[in-house]
Structure 1
């Protein structure tokens, strides 16, 4: 379908005046208890406090869901008014559900309900370290079990018997890839956007695994990674040159206004678990288990995740007999959805074509 993009010159005004009021009318907020699913997977449930201070949210994961039927009732210009199913969004490292408001808006216009889970340690979900700027996880399997359980319950509820699709970015893409391997019939289609099949560590992954493992054993598990810092309210485009400044300023504004969105750095244990996740995802036997058709978007100027492991993952999935394709944006930064409209628009149109097309196999991907 043809997509009318938000004018970057009027981005903040349009988000404030049009997008957010519409999303508010079709949004449901809730807290998902992953305890039962984690216990079934052999994981000891973690309590973890919520930054909102509400004890009833302890150990729970925050989510936002958007109902396509309620959205259609608003009669926004450009809405398809045809229900196509639901999309579960798995966000990236240090991100949060509301960062995806613009993408949610486009998905709703296209006829999809949307469910966004704040991963543990992110957004309003439970945390297990005192520093709210730092992300820590004890076991990467927890991310995978949580996302799968969320999709099996809340996601399926919003899909209402129609297709349930997955959209992942970065860390969320690594988690999503592991979910596709372990729950091969859960999703109908999956988009992996610059997925963390392997993180960029500045050194060979094997060396990084050994080094971080030693540091965690020496007591650095809950310590901030050397060279990283807490969030500071000083806007900069450093590292995001070429991205849409209007979008970057919007995300920054959200972080400044909400302490729970100021996740900004990694604990050593998070890095250790990210590397373990990568090793598991790239297991050929695991890749052969994938049944869900995959469309992977690759950023040519990515400094956060590695491209070659993405290529290996897709090839192994194809070798296992499943449908998998790569679309490369050579000039894009890591967050393709944060790029100017000239990049974001064709990216979004290919995502919607992939989700909408009943005949997946196509030379256009």
Structure 2
């Protein structure tokens, strides 16, 4: 296969002319019921969305067999399986259209679960800009249910693989520990093994935990901010501005995509998730081959925690490899093509080994 990157200098025009019509032709979006129990079989409390909408999780799917019929030049004619995408904090399925395009070109169907509190999935606070979760167990159980009941049937007799970013990477890592072999391979891109809360985690846990205990679990955590249409250049130095502008336009156009701030309980649960997934005994349970990407200029997650996770997973022969991308911001898939092309080639070569991959900048 010979995959051409979207022109970064005319990003929106090129995306709209090539990728979006093809994506629309093979897309299906629907909903699934949330998981009712965790990996121990413990029942999860039933939540009722604050706005009265159905208690459902939004799932977007792209069918590679329909995509093959388009005969896009350079695309694979083989079917390699299905990629399950686990997105990051405040993100949504539509943000991953460019990545979905490349996965389809490489012969993969794509399945994207919008985590609870994000996009068009159920929300448990009235302010759509705040992300709340009552327990991190729910994130993990929901992703596992999506993998088993939707993504795995999509893959049929082909591999089911995972692409997970940031918060979605933390959720995915915890899932791999608790549901061994639920996917065949996993890519963790800047995973939130430990969030960088810009304050010591013990202090954040203390402050946000106290707020929760005093009835403010769903309130915006200290230091969080409401949605703004402006792009924060400080945290995106070196990224492709055209990609950032396109993603920001998606947020501006749809209030479902304007989540921007953590609730106090989200902070407490993120810290609990981090502690749980770094437990050496849990790290040893991972059997899935993992390719982990570390962004050299990451302000949102702590790279030292990723290093520690890689060491613990690999301690007793675990199959994990880390690739550091020097100078990259947290969202490596927003970098210029010169950075993104080798990143994409590494991913596609790792996920399938039967077909040579060329990525043209």
**TM-score w.r.t. length of structure 1:** 0.93
Query: In the comparison of the two structures, how many residue pairs are matched?
Result: 353
1:156 equivalent in structure 2: 152
Helix, strand or coil: the match of 1:321?
coil
Judge which range, 287-296 or 203-212, deviates more. 203-212
CA distance, structure 1, for counterparts of residue 157 and residue 42 of structure 2: 26
Structure 1: tracts of 5 or more residues without a match: 359-365
1:100 equivalent in structure 2: 96
Q: Deviations over 1:333-364 (max 9, x none)?
A: 00000011011110000001111127xxxxxx
1:363 equivalent in structure 2: none
CA distance, structure 1, for counterparts of residue 48 and residue 71 of structure 2: 42
CA distance, structure 2, for counterparts of residue 161 and residue 30 of structure 1: 23
Alpha-carbon offset, residue 82 of structure 1: 0.3
1:68-147 equivalent positions in 2, closer than 5 A:
68-147=64-143
Say if 1:41 and 1:86 are closer, same or farther in 2 by CA, change over 3 A. farther
Helix, strand or coil: the match of 2:214?
helix
Q: Deviations over 1:269-307 (max 9, x none)?
A: 101000000000000010010000011000111000000
Report if the CA contact (8 A) 1:2-1:349 is conserved. Answer: no
Alpha-carbon offset, residue 239 of structure 1: 1.6
Structure 2: tracts of 5 or more residues without a match: 355-361
Report if the CA contact (8 A) 2:170-2:191 is conserved. Answer: yes
CA distance, structure 2, for counterparts of residue 320 and residue 218 of structure 1: 43
1:21-60 equivalent positions in 2, closer than 5 A:
21-37=21-37, 40-48=41-49, 55=53, 58-60=54-56
Q: Deviations over 1:132-191 (max 9, x none)?
A: 111000000000000000000100111011100010000000000000000111110000
Please provide the CA RMSD for this pair: 1.5
Q: Deviations over 1:79-132 (max 9, x none)?
A: 101000001000000000010000000000000000000000000000000001
CA distance, structure 2, for counterparts of residue 206 and residue 35 of structure 1: 30
2:298 equivalent in structure 1: 302
Helix, strand or coil: the match of 1:298?
strand
1:276 equivalent in structure 2: 272
Q: Deviations over 1:194-217 (max 9, x none)?
A: 000000022332333233222221
| Aligned residue among 230, 244, 248 for 1:248 | 244
Report if the CA contact (8 A) 1:49-1:59 is conserved. Answer: no
Alpha-carbon offset, residue 236 of structure 1: 4.4
CA distance, structure 2, for counterparts of residue 334 and residue 301 of structure 1: 7
CA distance, structure 1, for counterparts of residue 58 and residue 50 of structure 2: 12
Q: Deviations over 1:296-340 (max 9, x none)?
A: 000111000000111111111111322001100110000000011
Helix, strand or coil: the match of 1:277?
helix
Report if the CA contact (8 A) 1:41-1:145 is conserved. Answer: no
CA distance, structure 2, for counterparts of residue 207 and residue 228 of structure 1: 15
Helix, strand or coil: the match of 1:3?
strand
CA distance, structure 2, for counterparts of residue 251 and residue 160 of structure 1: 32
CA distance, structure 1, for counterparts of residue 46 and residue 262 of structure 2: 21
**TM-score w.r.t. length of structure 2:** 0.94
CA distance, structure 2, for counterparts of residue 235 and residue 319 of structure 1: 41
Report if the CA contact (8 A) 1:48-1:127 is conserved. Answer: yes
2:308 equivalent in structure 1: 312
CA distance, structure 1, for counterparts of residue 35 and residue 184 of structure 2: 26
